[in-house]
Structure 1
Amino acid sequence: MELRHIHYFLAVAEDLHFRKAAERLFISQPGLSRQIKQLEEELGFPLFERSNKKVSLTKAGNYLKNEFVLTLKNINDSVQHAQLLNQGIEGNINLGYVGSAMQNVIPSLLHRINENLPNLHYNLKEMENPEQIDALLTQEIDLAFVRMNQVPSGLKIKPIFEDTFSLVLPKNHPINQSNFKNLSQFKNEQFILFDQSYSPNYYAQVMQIFSDSGFIPSISHNTVHASTIFKLVENNFGIAIVPSTLQLGYQMNIKFIELKKIKQRTVLSVAWNASNRNPILENILKLI
């Protein structure tokens, strides 16, 4: 088996069409079919089920497709890392994060990286929680900063920052820090919340806050973006509950009341893939 066989197999596995895959690979369709047949003979089992109407992956073929994608990525990453070392650069790390992590955790980590690993390249990408988990599984990113307490098998997670919750109100709202008593004062208000898809665990915590306050909230809007929540609050479409660190970095006509007395806290965690072979990953985890 050679690398070209893997490339040919993945092209057909992606297109599920020999002619289209052959055109993309700039080889003849009979030539591609011959290469796939050789690979199947080498392996001792079929990769595709063929009929006049369609091509589909066998169970074994589907498994190998996923494994070969990761294998090629590891090869490419190894070559890229070697190229960086040749240029005097220590390596590259890809970080995913939810927006609130950028308020304090990510900047603090970047300062540590610059101090301890000055020749390291890093890439940052703001992503929703589920999107980060998918990217960890495919090793598209090396580290994820998420508001979750559980991750799929093969991933590891560690809590790194605990935060309070805060109410977000329009600037002209009659209740402020001085006359705030408890959340039940807002039982007739419309609420704007992070969508459940943002993090089921986070959403459950927020709903428990309402339950402990003795009412079920009327929810007018759900979103996954803090800036959208704040804009809706600013324009009097409702009020919100968010992690307190989101007070930083936004200049809008809104105000915050920190809910210090409630028991609920929201936790930011770092997650990574246990099988990730990026040689820099262990150093970054130590800095965290």
Structure 2
Amino acid sequence: MTRLPNLERLQTFLVVAQTLSFRAAAQKLFIAQPAVSRAVKALEEELGLVLLTRTTRQVSLTAAGALLAEKASLAFDQLHLAVRSARQAATGEAGTLVASYSALSTHSRMSEIVVRFKEKCPQVRVSTYLMSSEEQLLALKRGEIDLGFMLSVACSDPERHIIIDREQFMLVLPRSHALASASGVHLADLAGESWVVGSISRWRSFRALLEGACVKTGFLPKIVDEGDDIPVLLRLVSMGMGITVLGSSLRGALPANLAGIPIVDAHATFSISLVWEDYLAGSLAGNFIEFTKAWLASTPTP
């Protein structure tokens, strides 16, 4: 590997190359003119190259000097950028933040929090991945993700999550259904319906929450089919397979042939949390968490 030249001498040469004057370079660097001459001469000896042609009247770059000046200037720009990026990463202002989210988090305040954070820290890249709440908890423990957005009911440690949104259950059914024109329904109204719900493998927490609310009302839902994700569930409802229950934030994303009706029971609610395993103060994840706390405190709940 070729040994790099002395960087201080190289920087002095770049100023001379820019000004084409030892006197002007000395003034710009706030050093004596003989020191500039010595630095350039030492650099030429170090490299074994003639970089400048000197006469009593002018200074000019040789072909080697011109090429070195061009490439070294670009290299110093990259070096300054690398140092700045490293400092930003160390202070949580740059880098890549890996976050995951559950299906029911998609239309929560999660999206706005991420967008606002990226506006504040444009050098941060936020990579997001869809995972169930249970998958997120495992990924957090393994260090595969930095943060997760999931159902609060899945969280066991109150000190490692903050609630970012609260939602009512929402009944989703075809517009041809008898309840489609209702302004609100009770869970008890759904006792005799056929239900399509998220699969137990990917919707375990929400299934437990939903079935618990139904049991509290006095019945168990009659489940006739399952789906792994929201588009599949909506497709099953559109086909007339049954009704489903999701979060109220999804109302605006429903297809035109489906209606979303609020479920008005006081216990027919759930919340979404930002969850983490561990973080260092000042780290990227730590800055995101502190930003989220401040944003929630200053932003009224819709």
Please indicate the TM-score interval, normalised by the length of the shorter structure: 0.5 to 0.7
1:157: how far off? 2.1
1:166: how far off? 0.6
Distance 1:130 1:82 in 2: 39
**Mapped pair 1:117 → 2:121:** yes
1:244: how far off? 1.1
Q: Aligned residue for 2:187?
A: 183
Q: Aligned residue for 1:90?
A: 94
Q: How many corresponding residue pairs?
A: 208
In the TM superposition, what whole-angstrom CA distance separates every residue of 1:163-206 from its partner, at most 9, and x where no partner exists? 10011111211222437653333333210112344454432321
Q: Aligned residue for 2:111?
A: 107
Q: Aligned residue for 1:244?
A: 248
Map 1:1-288 → 2, pairs under 5 A? 84-85=85-86, 90-151=94-155, 156-178=160-182, 182-274=186-278, 279-288=283-292
Distance 2:84 2:277 in 1: 23
1:252: how far off? 4.5
Distance 1:191 1:222 in 2: 9
Q: Is the 8 A contact 1:167 1:239 kept in 2?
A: yes
Q: 1:261 to 1:116 in 2, by over 3 A?
A: same
Q: Secondary structure at the match of 1:273?
A: coil
Tell me whether 86-95 or 125-134 shows the greater mean CA deviation: 86-95
The one-letter code of the counterpart of 2:247 is P
In the TM superposition, what whole-angstrom CA distance separates every residue of 1:234-262 from its partner, at most 9, and x where no partner exists? 11011011111122334242111101233
Distance 1:94 1:263 in 2: 33
Identity rate, percent: 20
In the TM superposition, what whole-angstrom CA distance separates every residue of 1:200-228 from its partner, at most 9, and x where no partner exists? 44323211332233322210112331111
RMSD value, Cα: 3.0
Q: Secondary structure at the match of 1:185?
A: helix
Q: Secondary structure at the match of 2:110?
A: helix
Distance 1:179 1:275 in 2: 45
What stretches of structure 1 move > 6 A for 4+ residues in a row? 86-89, 152-155
Tell me whether 82-91 or 209-218 shows the greater mean CA deviation: 82-91
Q: TM-score, normalised by structure 1?
A: 0.63
Distance 1:84 1:179 in 2: 53
Distance 2:264 2:184 in 1: 12
Distance 1:149 1:223 in 2: 21
Q: TM-score, normalised by structure 2?
A: 0.60
| Structure 2 unmatched runs, 5+ | 1-81, 293-302
Q: Secondary structure at the match of 1:164?
A: strand
Q: 1:134 to 1:171 in 2, by over 3 A?
A: same
Q: 1:150 to 1:192 in 2, by over 3 A?
A: closer
